[in-house]
A and B are shown apart, each in its own frame.
Chain A
Amino acid sequence: MDQLLTVSLSPHISAGQSVKKLMFGVVLALVPAFLVSLYLFGLGALFVTIFSIATCVIFELAIQKYILKTAVRISDGSAIVTGLLLAFNLPSNLPWWMIALGAFFAIGVGKMTYGGLGNNPFNPALIGRVFLLISFPVQMTSWPVPVAARHQYLDAVTGATPLGFLKESVRNGEQIPEIMKQLPDNMQLFMGNVGGSLGEVSAIALILGFIWLLYKKIITWHIPVSMIATVFIFTGILWVIDPSLYAPPLFHILTGGVLLGAIFMATDLVTSPMTRAGMIIFASGIGIITVIIRVFGSYPEGVSFAILIMNAFVPLINKYIKPSRFGKEVKHG
């Protein structure tokens, strides 16, 4: 043995986990939802997803290489996750240049201006989505009709989302029981045969992804469960108070971005709190803000805004919600 020995401090072994494995674990978890969107929105879903991922990766590569002149880290897979999640938050008939603009905002403004992976306070994909929603409200809220629009892209037949329809009808003074009769039932919502962003429609596909993420220990249950539970309880209270004015809680959970947001967006490692207790506070906050926007605000959907607002509170939560220390509390004299 002629070579020199390696000398380093302990520990000398590691769990063999890596950022790359975490990111590709998330990608795999998104596969069921992607397959459902391919089935429902066909061509458009395929194009939007591929184009969003490609532009996100290219923007990250270009910024790291030519502007920041730092090591190129696209192989860690985080730009792919951002691209995938951005696409999942878009309608499947969005023009390519809007997608590119969204990707630029997600990666360029949402991530790289703060110093890249690990430093961004806000979820990059949501920064991209909200930028597009505010800039192009018409295109961002024209939702292709599932299955029927399968072979169309820009010229897809569009219709309202259940949440959009609900808001509109309530505004027109209709009663909830009457509105619910015209909306898809819970089973259809569960399977995903409704209008919406391409990745958010199928509850069962998203829940499959959730189980995978839990199994691979990429996330813990705390954020998704507390966020969904908060939405359920809050809308449940309203529904009990006046069922003619407020939609039932299960409808709120199965429509719109609650599941996609709870499982994949709010759980973003970088922009969520470090401790379990902090995660529960963070996720409950998202649930409450989501319901306030949906029920009392002017937008039909509020998950993206709610997550971004609570992202801003994460440093504060981390500062005040500390892990319980060993040897702090007196358990024995």
Chain B
Amino acid sequence: MLKTFTKGGIHPPDRKLTAHTCIQSLPLPATAIIPVSQHLGAPAIPVVAKGDYVKTGQLIAKGNGFVSSNVHASVSGNVAKIEDVTDISGYRRQAIVINVAGDDWLESIVRNEFLDREIKLTGEEILKKIADSGIVGLGGATFPTQVKISVPRGKKVDCLVINGVECEPYLTSDHRLMLEKGEEILVGVELLKRAMDVKIAHIGIENNKPDAIRLMRKLTVSHKGIEIHALKVKYPQGGEKQLIKAILNREVLSGGLPVDVGVVVFNVGTAFAVYEAVQKNKPLFERIVTITGKSVRQPANYRVRIGTPISSLIQASGGIPEDTGKIISGGPMMGKALINADVPVMKGSSGILLIPSGESARNKMQPCVRCGKCVSVCPMGLEPYLLMPLTEQKNFDRLEVEHVMDCMECGSCSYTCPADRPLLDYIRLGKSNVGKIIRSRKK
């Protein structure tokens, strides 16, 4: 009996078109557009000016405050301009635009494939290295990693959970990374263990990646204190609360954080970035991105420099299909629809998904038939059918009582609704209003 979380969940078709496609390097773009806000928290502040020459890996924007993150040049060349550009979020935000000239890396970065297993640094030194390298959660939440490691006073962490679940359909960047850089990921996990002073790490991988489970199990023989858990395939198992429940059977209380049950969760991609930062002195300026979709000619997994326009990725995969109706950054369940293909790849971009026009538009909404499917699939045990009309009625007090803030926006309710009701749209609206009310109360 494979482990999984117990409440709700759905089984969308996994469509992992690129599960057997090796990671390739994407050629450098002509210009790189590097937003200063690629993480949760305060935007970084540029430390270069127009006209400056920067090397690949050089710090170009410095984290501003505790919850923030450094940003590094992903290419070498001259800073063409610093201006607001539309990014994946759809908002216009400050970005540093670099005209690419050659590929001139900082000398301090170790550029070889040598597998460096030896951990020389202390926990504190590792933490500093991670903070300096601008590492954020690469699963998509982009929370600054050094903040996660710095556990608040009074909280005790007894184990790490490493997320290799990749429960979103289509996406394979974590899967490929585990297959091709499994040992590096494990060294990254060892580094995180030392930084957080814990002895045990649990890596969760869904059972639709048997090759990754087999390989990681083989590799962990030489890593004491790292355990691989094969999990039953179920969305949204990549949600950290669901993953902790699945692996450890611990339940994070409503409004709580994983650290409250003694756990901190990192993505396998983050573990790899930690390995590169600490062992190779390489800041986070590239990541693995899956480019995929039914009509995409050559769906693939690319190692992409941050700031590369998404159009370059699409070009490399055989050009934009005629029938494209929607471009999504991320997976089909939680990804963001883009307004054009000029936006740059950011630290949190795990995949680009092209959806044919026939499947882009939503179906027309029907009346709710009270079938209760949304209730039975909600992994948080909420009642979406009730939250939607409460939002329409602006009944925010009642929404709070009905625990709207527990919603993790996984989209299982909207996915499953036979009446095509935009449940999650309304729940988001309700959440943002209730969130405002809660914040104003605290003041």
Q: Which A residues fall within an 8 A CB radius of B? A: 1, 3, 5-15, 17-19, 21-22, 73, 76, 78, 116-119, 269-276, 322-332
Contacts and interface: CB of A to CB of B under 8 A. Distances in A.
6 contacts: A6-B357, A10-B332, A17-B418, A19-B418, A118-B369, A327-B255
Nearest to A22: B418
B379 interface: yes
A275 B366 contact: no
B126 interface: no
A273 B372 CA distance: 8
A323 B377 CA distance: 11
B380 interface: yes
B380 A327 contact: yes
Contacts of A15: 10, 12, 415-416, 418
Interface residues of A: mostly helix, strand, loop or mixed? loop
Given A1-B324, A5-B339, A13 B369 contact: no
Contacts of B363: 14, 18
B325 A3 contact: yes
A18 B418 contact: yes
Contact of A17 (B328, B337, B368, B416): B416
B109 interface: no
Given A11-B411, A117-B367, A332-B250, A326 B241 contact: yes
A1 B7 contact: no
Given A15-B10, A270-B369, A6 B380 contact: no
A323 B416 contact: no
B337 A117 contact: no
A9 B326 CA distance: 11
Nearest to A319: B386
B7 A324 contact: yes
Given A10-B335, A12-B328, A329-B251, 7 more contacts: A1-B324, A13-B359, A14-B417, A325-B382, A327-B252, A327-B256, A328-B253
A332 B261 contact: yes
Contacts, number: 173
Contacts of A274: 370, 372, 375, 383, 385
Nearest to A116: B367
Nearest to A314: B370
A7 B338 contact: yes
B336 A10 contact: yes
Interface string B248-283: 111111111000010000000000000000000000
Contacts of B380: 325-327
A6 B360 contact: yes
Which 10 A-B residue pairs are closest in the complex by CB-CB distance?
A11-B411, A325-B381, A118-B367, A6-B360, A17-B418, A274-B372, A332-B250, A327-B254, A269-B371, A13-B332
Contacts of B367: 19, 73, 116-119
A275 B7 CA distance: 13
Given A14-B420, A327-B256, A331-B251, A7 B381 contact: no
Nearest to B335: A10
A96 to B, nearest CB: 30
Interface of B: 7, 10, 12, 90, 169, 241, 245, 248-256, 261, 320, 322, 324-328, 330, 332-340, 353, 355, 357, 359-363, 366-373, 375-376, 378-383, 385, 403, 406, 409, 411, 414-420, 422, 424-425, 428
Interface residues of B: mostly helix, strand, loop or mixed? loop
A183 to B, nearest CB: 39
B411 A10 contact: yes
B104 to A, nearest CB: 35
Most buried by A among B169, B325, B418: B418
B414 A11 contact: yes
B253 A327 contact: yes
A12 B254 contact: no
Most buried by B among A6, A273, A324, A331: A6
A9 B414 CA distance: 11
A317 to B, nearest CB: 12
B406 A9 contact: no
Nearest to B11: A15
A45 B215 CA distance: 64
A328 B254 contact: yes
A10 B369 contact: no
Contacts of A6: 325-326, 337, 355, 357, 360-361
A329 B253 CA distance: 8
Nearest to A119: B367
A14 B250 contact: no
Nearest to A328: B254
A12 B335 contact: yes
Contacts of B406: 325-327
A3 B357 contact: yes
B256 A5 contact: no
A270 B363 CA distance: 21
Nearest to A271: B370
Given A11-B414, A12-B332, A332-B250, A325 B403 contact: yes
Given A17-B416, A276-B376, A7 B332 contact: no
Given A18-B418, A19-B418, A118-B369, A10 B250 contact: no
A283 B320 CA distance: 54
A34 B350 CA distance: 53
Most buried by B among A18, A73, A78: A18
